[in-house]
Amino acid sequence: MAYRVIHYINQFFGGVGGEEMADHKPEVRVGQAGPAMALHAALKGEAEVVATIVCGDNYCVANQKEVAALVATTVKKYKADALVAGPAFNAGRYGMACGTVCAAIGEACGIPTVTAMFPENPGVELYKAGTYIIPAADSARGMGQAIPAMAALLLKLLRKEALQSPEAEGYIERGVRVNMFYEKPGAERAVDMLLLKLAGKPFTTEYKMPVFDRVTPRPGITNMAGATIALVTSGGIVPKGNPDHIAASSARSYGEYDIAGVNDLTDTTYQTAHGGYDQTFANQDADRVLPVDVLRDLEREKKIGKLHHLFYSTVGNGTAVASAKKWGEEIGQKLKEANVQAVILTST
């Protein structure tokens, strides 16, 4: 009997419409729609796509739990053995949707999940630990390559075959450690590795040491009364209305905002864009996250020189470390050019 697969796709690939239909609510279609037809064919009868779920990207990203619950119900209803999502290519919200649905279903239903996206899609960094992601091209031109690769990996997972390394199997490394039995005891492997290292020959470590980015703190400020101090936050404080549309989670940008003449952040002028904590108190008084009021007091009391007229803000909720590092370097450069002596970094 063929394995039963459910395929999750977005409104565009489901034929509902483009960006204007991104709020399309999830619908379940019996059988195959859009890319599910190609997947169904690539599974060559060993598995079949029994239903296709079509959902708007914005709707999914904004209602992740609800969509995941609907997918889980559909998996049970159709007695599905696996879930496939995408390919999302380089569509950021589609990548997020595929990632979140796959990770949630893998955990809730304990079935294999496979998706595909462009390696730089933000969904990769966020969800690679929770699902198998096939690297895809940055646009739908890569459909013909992605679908057979997804089908091949899916069938291996369904057959419960032991997977080789990510390179050998052609999926993006999940960063998940799995135990295995080697041919030789660890002690012999260690001496073998030492001999290769001594001979300057290539060797493969069994565990790549994690890299911690350590920054040496600058010496303390000697003359605070003459110093320009800036505020930078990952707590998501933005002018009311979130003009730069900084995402509530997995931010893809940061904002730069002028606070010249602003002495107090109020509920009518500022808010938080952060979706990872209870926003109530930050929205009541954004100074609780970004203390402009207190720094204005210090300015008046001449305890600091002045508060820099620009502040920088992003959301540190599931945001990839690689993105945070890049923005930190950019912001640091801007502050340096503006002759700022010190920064107060606030989180949540």
Partner 1 sequence: MKLELHKAPVRSLRFGPQTTLENDVLVINQQELQALLLEDPRLAAVTVDLAHPGESIRIMPVKDAVEPRCKLSGGNEVFPGFIGGVETVGQGATFVLEGATVLTTGRLVAPQEGIVDMSGPGAAYTPFSSTCNIVLGLTPREDVTLHEAEATCRMVGLKAAHYLACRCKAAKAARVEHYAFPPLAEAMAAHPGLPKVAYIYMLQSQGLLHDTWVYGVDAKKTLPTLISPTEIMDGAVISGNCVSACDKNNTYVHQNNPIIKALYARHGKEINFVGVILTNENVTLADKQRSSSYAVKLASMLGVTAAVISEEGFGNPDADLVLNCVKAESAGIKTVLVTDEYAGANGASQSLADSCPEGTAVVTAGNANATIVLPPMAKVLGDPAQADVIAGGFFGSLRADGSMEVELQAILGATNELGFNKIGAYTI
Where does this chain bind partner 1 (CB under 8 A)? 129-130, 163, 165-166, 173-191, 193-195, 197-198, 203, 205-212
At 141, phi and psi to the nearest 5? Answer: -60, -20
If the CB atoms of residues 107 and 258 are measured against partner 1, the closer one turns out to be 107
If the CB atoms of residues 191 and 338 are measured against partner 1, the closer one turns out to be 191
CB of 76 to partner 1, least distance (A): 23
Say which residues have a Cβ less than 8 Å from residue 241's Cβ, sequence separation at least 6: 271
If the CB atoms of residues 103 and 248 are measured against partner 1, the closer one turns out to be 103
CB of 316 to partner 1, least distance (A): 18
If the CB atoms of residues 51 and 153 are measured against partner 1, the closer one turns out to be 153
Q: Is the bond into 87 cis (omega within 30 degrees of 0)?
A: yes
If the CB atoms of residues 207 and 223 are measured against partner 1, the closer one turns out to be 207
Q: Is 300 exposed, middle or buried (0-12, 13-18, 19+ CB in 10 A)?
A: exposed
Asked if 344 and 232 count as a contact pair (C-beta separation under 8 A), the reply is yes
CA distance 348 to 346: 7
Pairing of strands 310-313, 342-346: unpaired
**DSSP result, 12-60:** TTTTS-SGGGTTPPPEEEES--THHHHHHHHTBTTEEEEEEEEE-HHHH
CB of 155 to partner 1, least distance (A): 17
Distance of CA 237 to the CA centre of its chain: 20
If the CB atoms of residues 30 and 180 are measured against partner 1, the closer one turns out to be 180
CB of 198 to partner 1, least distance (A): 5
CB of 165 to partner 1, least distance (A): 7
CA-based R_g, the chain, Å: 25
CB of 318 to partner 1, least distance (A): 14
At 82, phi and psi to the nearest 5? Answer: -160, 160
Answer positive or negative: Cα dihedral of 66, 71, 72, 74.
Answer: positive
If the CB atoms of residues 213 and 301 are measured against partner 1, the closer one turns out to be 213
CB of 175 to partner 1, least distance (A): 6
